[in-house]
Chains A and B, each alone.
Chain A
Amino acid sequence: MHPAWSVLLLTTLIGAGQGLFIALVAAQASGRFLQTGLGLSLVLLAAGLLASFFHLGHPERAWRSAAMWRTSWLSREVIVLPAFMVLVAAYAWTQSFALGVLGLATCLALFVCTGMIYACLPFLQEWRSPLTVVNFTLLGCASGLTAAAALAAWLEPAPARPFAAAALVVGALAYLGRLASLYRNARLRPKSTLASAIGVKHPKITQIAQGAMGGSFNTREFFHGRPRDVVRATRWTLLALVFPVPALLLLAGEPLIAFLAQYAGLLAERWYFFAEAKHPQNLYYQAIA
């Protein structure tokens, strides 16, 4: 699949915003630290929402996308994300316990919606796994906890160390989850083959022509179009920056740099998430001519 910047930014930014909210509510933070933290969380969520509009051909019709919440996870995310933002703002205003709990539940629902957008597609076998939802949740929480540690180091040093410790634990779990999905995806056997795609029972089928000389939507949207070296380099980047490097930086007492490094790692992780997914339609687009 082609990794679109709009979607990479949307999923990583709202993940960090959600994780930060969870960290602040779970730690029962208060005062200027809480207000700044919730403000930052809102900024991250709003930036993600803004990025998502760039994915649309008709952003002015975006309101329509709340219509099919009964069947579409994308529609559900479109409803839950603004609802969560309202709850974050309301919690910042009132700091009521009930709103905090409601916010946490909505936050988890948003993680599920975002993950299920990808995990619900049966054809993309790399995504069709509970690990997709688990990883979106854990990676978002880890990034938010690192942000909370950075914020605490700046505004309220007392909880900075517990936040860093939590970020290490959740980061390690997220890293394990991502390693598990990398391991799983490396061993997938594609369900569709050229034989089933064109319905001719033969082990050796070669495409001669795909019906277009200069490429099409199908060759742009479903292929990342980068050399294998770039994909491999991205995998090493994500393996280094999602957890090991930020963990060392957290231990070294540099939570802000840790957050930035981890965010870069998460962008690489999301890029690789798309690049490693092989859509079965690609079987029909193996050769241009």
Chain B
Amino acid sequence: MTTKQLALVIDLNVCVGCHACVTSCKGWNDAGAAGPLTDQNPYGADPSGTFFNRVQTFEVGEFPHTETVHLPKSCLHCEDPPCVPVCPTGASYKRAEDGIVLVDYDKCIGCKYCSWACPYGAREIDEQQKVMKKCTLCVDRIYDAKLPEAERKPACVLACPTSARLFGDIHDPASDASRAIREQGGYALMPEWGTQPANHYLPRRKTEKRLHADELERHDNPLKVDGLLPRPSPEEPALDDVTSW
């Protein structure tokens, strides 16, 4: 647990479901070292394609008490990835140095068994290249010394207009990602399977003003020490009518 584990922390309270992470991911990874990410019939009636990242939208509750939740879903880079041991060729692997789960496209035989072993549906086969594809956490960006330091982040993180995506080492307690998980209630998807996803989500948080009765009316109001005073008649001048504050 002491080695590095890079991951995304996605704030569902801030995500507006704009799909900028989806398009930037597709743009970078279609052209980058992991590319191409092929599409089938992209402009036809039944378009389909390979994506590392998808934004899904859910409605929680029943009208009028509903809430819209946008859930960007990509590979969660599980600490105990169930997709890796089932791979017959060793094409799927988890990097020891930073915990990124990757597929070696030159070894993959396209048997799809790893996708069966992923409860999140994070792996998609490339129908043209016939190999399994998944989020690489932009491994070809984040270590690229030619890029300015600030740009050595996954494309989706840089693209997010609301900064809903944090990227960092979740094993380093001082990282922004770790602190967000710790302090803002970060949680994992489908914890029941024990996959220990590295990617975490920050919950929706309602910002409401809570008013207690004694904030509206002080219980130690000196005017009420002797019980309720008789209500003044509407004809009598009120304090506002006779005083200028």
Chain A interface residues (CB < 8 Å from chain B): 1, 55-59, 61-62, 64-68, 71-75, 78, 117, 120-124, 191-192, 194, 196-200, 202, 204-218, 221-222, 279-282, 284-285
Instruction: Identify A123's interface contact among B61, B112, B193, CB under 8 A.
Output: B193
Contact of B89 among A1, A68, A204, A279 (CB under 8 A): A68
| Contacts of B87-131 to chain A: CB distance below 8 A | 87-91, 107-113, 115-121, 124-125, 127, 129-131
Known A64-B109, A199-B187; contact A217-B69, beta-carbon cutoff 8 A:
no
- Known A-B contacts A57-B131, A64-B109, A200-B204; the reply to A205 vs B60 at CB < 8 A is yes
Among all A-B residue pairs, the 8 with the closest Cβ atoms: A57-B110, A57-B130, A281-B121, A211-B54, A65-B88, A71-B85, A75-B88, A64-B89
Query: Which residue from A73, A78, A204 sits with its C-beta under 8 Å from B60?
Result: A204
- Name the interface size band of chain B: 35 or more
Contact of B192 among A58, A62, A67, A191 (CB under 8 A): A191
Residues on A with beta carbons closer than 8 Å to the beta carbon of B111: 55-57, 65, 74
A78 and B129 CA atoms in complex are apart in Å by 23
| Cβ-defined contact, A206 with B59, below 8 A | yes
Q: Is the CB of A78 within 8 A of B88?
A: yes
Contact residues in A for B131 (Cβ distance below 8 Å): 57-58
Which residues does B use to contact A, with CB under 8 Å?
19, 22, 41, 45-51, 54-62, 68-69, 71, 73, 82, 84-91, 107-113, 115-121, 124-125, 127, 129-131, 187-193, 201, 203-204
Report whether B116 and A214 are in contact in the complex, using a CB–CB cutoff of 8 Å.
no
Interface pairs (5), CB distance under 8 Å: A64-B107, A120-B86, A210-B54, A214-B47, A217-B50
Known A61-B109, A74-B86, A284-B120: A198·B54 in contact at CB below 8 Å: no
Interface pair B117/A65, CB less than 8 Å apart: no
* Contact (Cβ within 8 A) A57 B109: yes
- A208:B88 contact, CB within 8 angstroms: no
Q: Are B86 and A72 in contact (CB under 8 A)?
A: yes
Q: How far is the CA of A78 from the CA of B111 in the complex (A)?
A: 12
Query: A280 — which chain B residues lie within 8 A by C-beta?
Result: 119-120, 190, 193
Report whether B121 and A65 are in contact in the complex, using a CB–CB cutoff of 8 Å: no
Selected contact of B125 from candidates A75, A121, A217, CB within 8 Å: A217
Query: Nearest chain A CB to B78's CB is how many angstroms away?
Result: 12
> How far apart are A52's CB and chain B's nearest CB, in angstroms?
9
Contact flag A67-B90 (CB < 8 Å), given A57-B131, A198-B71, A204-B62: yes
- Contact of A214 with B48 at beta-carbon distance under 8 Å, contacts A206-B58, A284-B73 already known: yes
Instruction: Looking at the assembled complex, report how far the CB atom of B204 sits from the nearest CB atom of chain A, in whole angstroms.
Output: 7
A53, closest chain B residue (CB): B109
Measured between alpha carbons, how far is A67 from B107 in the docked complex, in Å? 11
**Given known contacts A56-B110, A61-B109, A198-B69, is B117 in contact with A216 (CB within 8 Å)?**
no
On whether the beta carbons of B48 and A74 are closer than 8 Å, the reply is no
B66 to chain A minimum Cβ distance, whole angstroms, is 9
| Shortest distance between the CB of A73 and any CB in chain B (Å) | 7
Residues of B within 8 A of A205 (CB): 58-60
